[in-house]
Amino acid sequence: GLTQKLQETFRKLRGKGKLTEKDVKEAMREVKLALLEADVNYKVVKDFVNSVTERAIGQEVMESLTPGQHVIKIVHEELVNLMGAKESKINISPKPPTVIMLVGLQGAGKTTMAAKLALHFKRNNKHPLLVAADVYRPAAIKQLQILGGQIDIPVFALGDKISPIDIAKASIEYAKKNARDIVIIDTAGRLHVDEDLMLELESIKKEVEPNEILLVVDAMTGQDAVNVAESFNQRLDITGVILTKLDGDTRGGAALSVKAITGKPIKFVGIGEKLSDLEIFYPDRMASRILGMGDILTLIEKAQQAIDEKKALEMQQKLEKQEFTLEDFLEQMQQMKKLGSLKDLIRMIPGIDVSKLNDIDFEENEREMVKIEAIIKSMTKEERRNPSIINSSRKKRIAKGSGTSIQDVNKLLNNFEQARKMIKQFSDIQKHMKKGKFKF
């Protein structure tokens, strides 16, 4: 998918110390292809790639980031801009009720979304009213009544013999009389954009003057979703878009194009069939998700603040020369601590299944780190640099000094030896990679 393709491209950049104009152009060619393949609108892709390229070349690279990281940062920022920079709130009317009209093609997910929104507002201490204004689709009214029942929200319905315009109008009166402060109108859809539908929706709009007209589009339809958005926007001047079925195997194109093409923000996304499967749309989170980065940028920024570059370089050289000692190990642990708790850190690594994190006992790990620190601190400088001199009487003294046991000291020494061997192997591989012996 899109995420995977972009990650491949960035992986190539990551290893580079310096980026040439050629590197950037080559990477942008790949980004362009990946976006087009993900069904992002052609014009949007072109503009996007141009602005990233312009910023990536020519600009001073931030000292704290490698050039590769810098390009990723720019791409991320431009993706965020493309989707609207900040999250877009629902326009709540100062004079209740706030009227929200949901429009869109048949099957896009309007009726489901109406109930999801009702639940969302209910959880925010509002008192929604659902309105059944789809009188054409068989069982549409029943569907809304069932959903309303599941979340204990009243559903205003007048059957299918009354016009949707009159139903909508009556529902507002009902809401006023019954202290319902948000009215959510579920309208009919068609398989395609058609004139009858548009005329009916225009009439409802005129009659109830909604605070929000939200277009519900199926994200799985890609480019089509964007075309649909354009048509609805031209006729109804919508106030925002809701993308549904983002949980499916979507190519992500719709999320990236809708704002650029219509000028209207995405406000919510549907991520499943359950009524709680609703998320407020945050452009920056979506951008991170698309780049498959978790919150990798935050991680880069945090690391930058905490780790002294010079020290990191020294450490690297020590590792390569096999001079890494327990003293360095202690120092590295202290640097790690500055980065925050282990759990928070791991959460930010892309591709980590957060649900699995619960299986790991982080507190145990952190207690272990405290112990290790105490042990190393109880060693003399000489012992830290050359652990092989630590005989049993020294071990006894260290254990006593750190409030641990001889087994603890042995464990640390063994682990350290193991780690040192692993580091050695690792740095050998790295050296080979630099020489170009390995290729991925």
Query: What residue numbers does the annotated binding site for GTP cover?
Result: 104-111, 186-190, 244-247
> Smaller CB distance to ligand GDP: residue 44 or 140?
140
Piece of 107-115, 123-131, 176-184, 303-311 that binds Mg ion (CB under 5 A): 107-115
Piece of 7-15, 109-117, 382-390, 422-430 that binds ligand GDP (CB under 6 A): 109-117
> Smaller CB distance to ligand GDP: residue 272 or 340?
272
Could you tell me the smallest distance in angstroms from the CB atom of residue 128 to ligand GDP?
16
With contact defined as beta carbons under 8 Å apart, do 251 and 278 qualify?
A: no
Q: Is 164 in the site for ligand GDP (CB under 6 A)?
A: no
Instruction: Report the candidate in 82, 104, 134, 114 with the shortest Cα–Cα distance to residue 231.
Output: 104
Structure tokens at 141: 């009214």
Which of 272, 292, 340, 350: binder of ligand GDP (CB under 6 A)? 272
Which of 8, 209, 273, 323: binder of ligand GDP (CB under 6 A)? 273
70 binds, among ligand GDP, Mg ion, none (CB under 5 to 8 A by kind): none
Q: Is 247 in the site for ligand GDP (CB under 6 A)?
A: yes
Q: Provide the sign of the torsion angle of the four alpha carbons 121, 123, 129, 132, taken in this order.
A: positive
> Smaller CB distance to Mg ion: residue 24 or 105?
105
Q: Which residue is nearest to ligand GDP (CB)?
A: 270
Could you tell me the smallest distance in angstroms from the CB atom of residue 111 to Mg ion?
3
> Smaller CB distance to ligand GDP: residue 107 or 350?
107
CB atoms within 10 A of CB 338: 12
Which of 69, 111, 171, 250: binder of Mg ion (CB under 5 A)? 111
> Smaller CB distance to ligand GDP: residue 68 or 164?
164
362-421 binders of Mg ion (CB under 5 A):
none
Q: Is 112 in the site for ligand GDP (CB under 6 A)?
A: yes
Could you tell me the smallest distance in angstroms from the CB atom of residue 64 to ligand GDP?
40
> Smaller CB distance to Mg ion: residue 28 or 217?
217
97 binds, among Mg ion, ligand GDP, none (CB under 5 to 8 A by kind): none
283 binds, among Mg ion, ligand GDP, none (CB under 5 to 8 A by kind): none
Q: Is 270 in the site for ligand GDP (CB under 6 A)?
A: yes
Q: Is 403 in the site for ligand GDP (CB under 6 A)?
A: no
Give the per-residue SS3 of the chain: CHHHHHHHHHHHHHCCCCCCHHHHHHHHHHHHHHHHHCCCCHHHHHHHHHHHHHHHCCCCCCCCCCHHHHHHHHHHHHHHHHHCCCCCCCCCCCCCCEEEEEECCCCCCHHHHHHHHHHHHHHCCCCEEEEEECCCCCCHHHHHHHHHHHHCCCEECCCCCCCHHHHHHHHHHHHHHCCCCEEEEEECCCCCCCHHHHHHHHHHHHHHCCCEEEEEEEHHHCHHHHHHHHHHHHHHCCCEEEEECCCCCCCCHHHHHHHHHHCCCEEEEECCCCCCCEEECCHHHHHHHHHCCCCHHHHHHHHHHHCCHHHHHHHHHHHHCCCCCHHHHHHHHHHHHHCCCHHHHHHCCCCCCHHHHCCCCHHHHHHHHHHHHHHHHCCCHHHHHCHHHCCHHHHHHHHHHHCCCHHHHHHHHHHHHHHHHHHHHHHHHHHHHHCCCCCC
Q: Is 325 in the site for Mg ion (CB under 5 A)?
A: no
Could you tell me the smallest distance in angstroms from the CB atom of residue 130 to ligand GDP?
12
Structure tokens at 275: 């009524």
106 binds, among ligand GDP, Mg ion, none (CB under 5 to 8 A by kind): ligand GDP
> Smaller CB distance to ligand GDP: residue 110 or 205?
110
244 binds, among Mg ion, ligand GDP, none (CB under 5 to 8 A by kind): ligand GDP
> Smaller CB distance to ligand GDP: residue 268 or 324?
268
CB atoms within 10 A of CB 273: 12
Piece of 102-110, 148-156, 355-363, 387-395 that binds Mg ion (CB under 5 A): 102-110
Q: Is 145 in the site for ligand GDP (CB under 6 A)?
A: no
Instruction: Tell the residue number behind the tokens 């431009």, with chain if given.
Output: 78
Q: Which residues make up the interface to ligand GDP (CB under 6 A)?
A: 104, 106-112, 189, 244-245, 247-248, 270-273, 277
Q: Which residues make up the interface to Mg ion (CB under 5 A)?
A: 110-111
